[in-house]
């Protein structure tokens, strides 16, 4: 009887051993699809899986290629449907994986590219993904033209709103678990609504949802949109909970100078910066000198505009929140490097401070912050609207105010402003030609 009992036990042990040591497939993370796209200097592969993948990668030279090993994914899916339309990425192919349970991909390139790989968790609209970004450190020369004449542009003033962080990058996290990326997107959308409801203004968002955008790609949105302003919204943080208050930042002079050098180096010929003016300059060194001078002056102008707007922003934000910095600060932020675009970064408060985290979670507080930003933006562009915009036209046609000085008469003022005496009298409800020193007169458009 005892022997009869032992036989089933032996059989069970043998079966368990067979299961443990017999070869079987661990490829249990099903591949779904792969997509390829490019934007400026970045090529991007997105692979979708049933569950979040585990991966490693390395680079090889002669020829240049990136090898990506993905664990627990069958190597039998096809890559024939991947449309590669890129001057720097030749093809994506399979190679022999380290183990039969894995997948090895090889990305063949025409030159050495800088790889960045990261995973994105599943969302309501997409499964888990592996993102492979390949950045060209020396992209082909681009046409960079200084707008010395009135540009052929949209009548609206274009304002790019950048909600900081997003996707796999949550930004800072408050003591109660508040994600910076959600606060910045909420305020950005509130500001977008205010801007788009104002005639003559138009908002462009760098992101409209919870997804990741590289800091280096954000200023490219401003360049593509021919933007008149870029405002990046963030929430500050510190290692202790005490610091609090908002601040406004502009690009540092050092970073602006380095960006100037990068633009000049990436431009194959300096004449691309000078346009038709280069045709009258025969010496190439002189041509480059003029290009550098013009671009330098242009960047200095836009840095000055950024500083002016920052002061207005600080004055408005003081009515909503405590300011950690009472004057504009400068730093080497990648998001502020769009050439020819005034750009500022606004820290709406310290999310690491429990009280400010609570405030930022309060919708009315975020609305008031958006109001402060909107008011300062309007004041800035009302004073200096870009040429060719509706606001510039309104300013040109708006009546002017003139304070009468000693020795001035209606006939003298009419001649100065190019209007008739009768129009001056009618506009100001004057019954005679007499005016007094200090009197404010409305000057009608000529």
Residue 369's closest CA among 355, 356, 353, 352?
356
Mean pLDDT of 87-107: 90
Residue pair 70/105 in contact (Cβ under 8 Å)? The answer is yes
Q: Which residue has the higher pLDDT, 100 or 108?
A: 108
Measured between alpha carbons, how far is 133 from 213 in angstroms, rounded to an integer? 11
Residue pair 368/289 in contact (Cβ under 8 Å)? The answer is no
Rounded to the nearest 10°, the torsion over CA 312, 240, 178, 372 is -10
Q: Does the pLDDT at position 58 exceed 80? A: yes
- Give every CB contact of residue 141 below 8 A, 6+ residues apart in sequence: 266, 267, 268, 269, 272
Q: Which tokens hold the place of 242?
A: 């005490």
Measured between alpha carbons, how far is 41 from 297 in angstroms, rounded to an integer? 26
Query: What pLDDT does 274 receive?
Result: 42
108-112, 121-125, 214-218 — most confident range: 108-112
Residue pair 323/246 in contact (Cβ under 8 Å)? The answer is yes
- Confidence band (pLDDT; 50, 70, 90) for 151? very low
Kindly report the backbone phi and psi dihedral angles of residue 158, in degrees, each rounded to the nearest multiple of 5, phi listed first. -95, 120
Residue pair 48/122 in contact (Cβ under 8 Å)? The answer is no
Query: What pLDDT does 362 receive?
Result: 95
Distances (CA, A) of 262 to 199, 223, 255, 295, 345: 37, 16, 10, 12, 22
Measured between alpha carbons, how far is 161 from 224 in angstroms, rounded to an integer? 14
Task: Give all domains of the chain, ordered by start, each with its CATH number.
Answer: 31-135 (2.60.40.3500), 157-390 (3.40.630.40), 399-443 (3.10.350.10)
Sheet of strand 103-109: strand arrangement: 54-60, 65-71, 103-109, 89-95
- Confidence band (pLDDT; 50, 70, 90) for 374? very high
Strand partners, 92: 107
Q: Which tokens hold the place of 276?
A: 């038709």
Q: Which residue has the higher pLDDT, 270 or 291?
A: 291
pTM: 0.57
Percent of the chain's residues with pLDDT above 70: 77
Q: Does the pLDDT at position 171 exceed 70? A: yes
Q: How many Cα atoms occupy the beta-carbon half-sphere of 316 within 13 Å?
A: 22
Mean pLDDT of 251-255: 63
Measured between alpha carbons, how far is 320 from 367 in angstroms, rounded to an integer? 10
Strands (E), 167-295: 201-205, 229-236, 247-251
Mean pLDDT of 338-354: 87
- Confidence band (pLDDT; 50, 70, 90) for 348? very high
């Amino acid at each position: 009887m005892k022997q009869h009992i032992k036989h089933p036990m032996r059989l069970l042990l043998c079966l368990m051993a067979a299961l443990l040591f017999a070869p079987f497939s661990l490829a249990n993370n099903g591949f779904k699809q792969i997509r390829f796209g490019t934007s400026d200097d970045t090529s991007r592969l997105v692979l979708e899986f049933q569950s979040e993948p585990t991966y490693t990668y390395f680079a090889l030279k002669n020829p240049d290629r990136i090898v990506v090993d993905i664990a627990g994914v069958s190597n039998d899916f096809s890559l024939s449907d991947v449309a590669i339309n890129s001057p720097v990425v030749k093809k994506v192919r399979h190679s022999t994986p380290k183990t039969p349970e894995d997948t090895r991909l090889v990305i063949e390139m025409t030159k050495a590219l800088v790889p960045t790989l990261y995973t994105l968790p599943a969302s309501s609209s997409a499964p888990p993904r592996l993102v492979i970004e390949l950045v060209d450190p020396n992209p082909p020369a681009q046409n960079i033209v200084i707008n010395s004449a009135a540009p052929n542009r949209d009548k609206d003033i274009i304002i790019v709103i950048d909600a900081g962080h997003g996707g796999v990058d949550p930004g800072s996290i408050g003591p109660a678990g508040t994600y910076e990326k959600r606060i910045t997107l909420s305020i950005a959308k509130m500001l977008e609504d205010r801007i788009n409801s104002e005639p003559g203004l138009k908002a462009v968002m760098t992101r409209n949802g919870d997804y990741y955008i590289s800091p280096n790609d954000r200023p490219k949105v401003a360049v593509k949109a021919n933007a008149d302003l870029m405002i990046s919204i963030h929430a500050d943080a510190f290692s202790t909970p005490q610091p609090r208050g908002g601040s406004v930042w502009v690009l540092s002079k050092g970073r602006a100078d380095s960006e100037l050098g990068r633009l000049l180096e990436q431009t194959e010929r300096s004449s691309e910066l000078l346009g038709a003016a280069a045709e009258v300059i025969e010496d190439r060194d002189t041509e480059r000198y003029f290009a550098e001078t013009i671009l330098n002056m242009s960047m200095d102008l836009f840095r000055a505009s950024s500083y002016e707007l920052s002061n207005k922003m600080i004055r408005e934000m003081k009515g909503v929140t405590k300011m950690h910095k009472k004057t504009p600060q400068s730093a080497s932020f990648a998001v502020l490097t769009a050439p020819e675009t005034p750009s500022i970064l606004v820290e709406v408060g310290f999310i690491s401070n429990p009280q400010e985290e609570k405030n930022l979670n309060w919708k009315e507080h975020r609305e008031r912050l958006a109001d402060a930003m909107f008011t300062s933006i309007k004041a800035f562009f009302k004073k200096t609207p870009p040429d060719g915009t509706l606001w510039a036209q309104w300013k040109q046609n708006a009546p002017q105010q003139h304070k009468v000085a000693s020795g001035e008469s209606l006939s003298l003022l009419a001649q100065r402003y190019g209007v008739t005496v009768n129009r001056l009298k009618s506009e100001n409800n004057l019954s005679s030609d007499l005016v007094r020193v200090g009197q404010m007169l409305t000057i009608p458009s000529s």
